[in-house]
Structures are given as structure tokens and as C-alpha cells.
């Protein structure tokens, strides 16, 4: 695990891929069922734009979640996310497979996680990030603890911080 004291620039220069959990990171973690049993989730528009910006800058993005949901499949499709692993109760093997498919090394990966199933992955990658409302263990494992909560712009905050640290955010603004 990288030292917590490294500058954002030193950390960000290595990162070419962001992988993220879904529930508790891209959403606020609540799982809602309608009276008909249909699952719903809320996603923040700024997270979606952040993901698109990250990929437009030439970087990879993927989702790894223990649950399986048509809603996640749809959101990934809307955003053009090609790398999606659902039903991955043990996330580390899924992440290793995804990293190999993307063609990067673990130290080049930023992973956003919020709870106990994310800890092995957070310890494996180059940059572990947790929303401010993540579990205590996830926050203690993360190198970056965000100001944003899960479902409230956590992914966007991460993307901006990485791109600003490497002076790539200026391209985005043009």
C-alpha cells in the first residue's frame, strides 16, 4: 500500500484505471424495492460526467459489485463502461481479472470502496479511496478519504482530484 504522505501528484501520475464498488460509492448504499419488487437505485449525475471525462482522457474505468442488478447494467451501458463485474462476492479475484483484461498493473489502479468486502481490493491496488461516510475500516484503509459521501459525487471528486494533480483537468475545461 502506498504511503499516505505521498503528494497527490506523485500518486496520480501512476493511476491509469479507476475501479469502483457500486452500492455505497456510486449510490448512497440504500437498496430500495418498489411494491412490485422492482429494485431502484439513485446515481449522481456528476459521478456520471466524471466517469465520462475520465474515459475521454484515455483512462479505463470499471465497476465491481457483489450484487447483481439490471439497474447497474443499464447505468454502465449509459456511461459506456465496458468493464463490469456483478455478483463478485469475493471482489479481489474479479478485480485481478479485470486489471488483466484492461492491461494495467495493480499499482496503476485506483479503487473506490466503502465497506468490508472492499478491503482486500483496497489493500491490493495503488490508490485506495473511500467516501466520507464509508465504514471505519474502509476509511482507515484508504489513502484518500473524500469530502463527498457515497452517491453524492464521490467518483467525480476522485476523478477531479486525479486529473487536477496531473494538470489534465485544464484539457477538460477547454
- Cα Rg of the chain, angstroms: 15
Q: How far is CA 170 from CA 52, 103, 163, in A?
A: 16, 27, 9
Residue 71 buriedness (CB in 10 A; 0-12 / 13-18 / 19+): middle
Angle between helices 70-79 and 45-56 (to 10 degrees): 50
Contact by Cβ (8 Å): 27, 41: yes
Is 114 marked as a binding-site residue? yes
- Is 137 a known ligand-binding residue? no
Is 23 marked as a binding-site residue? yes
DSSP 108: G
26 vs 152: CA distance, rounded Å: 8
Binding residues, as ranges, are 21, 23, 114
Binding residues for substrate, as ranges, are 23
Binding residues for Mg(2+), as ranges, are 21, 114
Amino acid at each position: 500500500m502506498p504511503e499516505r504522505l505521498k503528494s497527490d501528484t506523485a500518486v496520480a501520475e501512476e493511476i491509469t484505471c479507476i475501479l469502483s464498488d457500486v452500492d455505497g460509492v456510486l449510490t448512497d448504499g440504500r437498496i430500495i424495492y418498489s411494491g412490485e419488487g422492482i429494485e431502484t437505485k439513485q446515481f449522481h449525475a456528476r459521478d456520471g460526467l466524471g466517469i465520462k471525462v475520465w474515459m475521454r482522457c484515455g483512462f479505463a474505468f470499471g465497476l465491481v459489485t457483489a450484487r447483481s442488478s439490471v439497474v447497474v447494467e443499464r447505468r454502465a451501458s449509459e456511461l459506456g463502461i465496458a468493464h463490469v463485474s456483478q455478483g463478485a462476492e469475493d471482489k479481489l479475484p474479479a478485480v485481478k481479472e479485470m486489471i488483466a483484461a484492461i492491461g494495467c498493473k495493480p499499482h496503476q489502479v485506483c479503487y473506490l470502496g466503502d465497506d468490508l468486502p472492499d478491503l482486500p481490493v483496497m489493500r491490493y491496488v495503488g490508490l485506495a479511496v473511500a467516501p466520507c461516510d464509508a465504514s471505519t475500516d474502509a476509511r482507515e484503509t484508504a489513502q484518500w478519504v473524500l469530502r463527498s459521501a457515497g452517491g453524492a459525487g464521490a467518483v467525480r471528486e476522485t476523478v477531479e482530484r486525479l486529473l487536477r494533480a496531473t494538470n489534465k483537468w485544464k484539457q477538460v475545461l477547454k
